[in-house]
Amino acid sequence: MSRRAPGARPNRQIIATNRRARHDYSILDTYEAGIALTGTEVKSLRDGKASLADSFATVDDGEVWLRNVHIPEYHHGTWTNHAPRRNRKLLLHRHEIDTLIGKIRDGNLTLVPLSLYFAEGKVKVDLALARGKQARDKRQDLARREAQREVTRALGRRVKGMS
């Protein structure tokens, strides 16, 4: 029987990513959460269909809920199909939920899903504790990234003996 090395990540089959999240938010901490789904939702996700655009998570009555995630109806489904934008419960340990409640209450923070993926046959969500960026922060990040790109290019030219 093969065993995974301690600390190694399981095989991930990414379903959807929230590309705007890292642009619009400063990521402070990330959590991996399970998600409570219906059968037709899982089948639709196996087809690779989901959208995390404009999605977020909230803490209500000690439970974490994922809101505004679009999982389209399963095309072979019948009257038992799910609602595409229903609220879905996230599965976290109690101590993780308590930490999140404390951090959200203390600062101007929000919970944003970064990606949705299969890990060992189960659907998981990478949930980020994040602070919203202002326009100037986004410009600073772009300038920093562009400067880093220029340095990389210059070093590449130098190594190749071009300049």
pLDDT tens, position by position, 15-32: 888 888 887 888 898 999
Count of structural domains within the chain: 2
- Same domain membership, residue 145 and residue 80: no
Contacts for 24 with CB less than 8 Å, ≥ 6 apart: 132, 133, 138
Cβ-based neighbours of 130, under 8 Å, separated by 6 or more: 21, 25, 26, 27, 28, 109, 110, 111, 112
- Backbone phi, psi, residue 12, to 5°: -115, 130
In a domain, 112, yes or no: yes
Query: How crowded is residue 33: how many other Cβ atoms within 10 Å of its Cβ?
Result: 21
Question: Based on the domain organization, do 86 and 71 belong to the same domain?
Answer: yes
- Asked if 25 and 93 sit in the same domain, the reply is yes
Query: Do 158 and 119 sit in the same domain of this protein?
Result: no
49 shares its domain with 107: yes
> Rounded to an integer, what distance in angstroms lies between the CA atom of residue 159 and that of residue 123?
45
Report how far residue 157's alpha carbon sits from residue 32's, in angstroms, rounded to the nearest whole number: 41
Do 128 and 144 share a domain, yes or no?
Answer: no
Residue 104: the pLDDT is 87
Burial of 69 (0-12, 13-18, 19+ CB in 10 A): buried
* pLDDT tens by residue, 73-130: 877 777 777 777 889 899 999 999 999 898 888 878 889 999 999 888 888 999 998 8
Pair 112, 154 in one domain: no
CATH number of the domain encompassing residue 31: 2.40.280.10
Interval 35-69: pLDDT, tens: 998 888 888 888 888 888 888 888 988 899 999 98
Give the number of other Cβ atoms within 10 Å of residue 90's Cβ. Answer: 23
Q: Is residue 39 part of a domain?
A: yes
Q: Which domain holds residue 140?
A: 134-163
List all residues 6 or more positions away from 11 whose beta carbon is below 8 Å from its beta carbon: 119, 120
**Residue 99 and residue 113 in one domain:** yes
Mean pLDDT over each residue of the chain, to the nearest integer: 83
5: in domain: no
Q: Which amino acid is at 139?
A: R
Q: Are residues 59 and 120 in the same domain?
A: yes
Residues 126, 159: one domain?
Answer: no
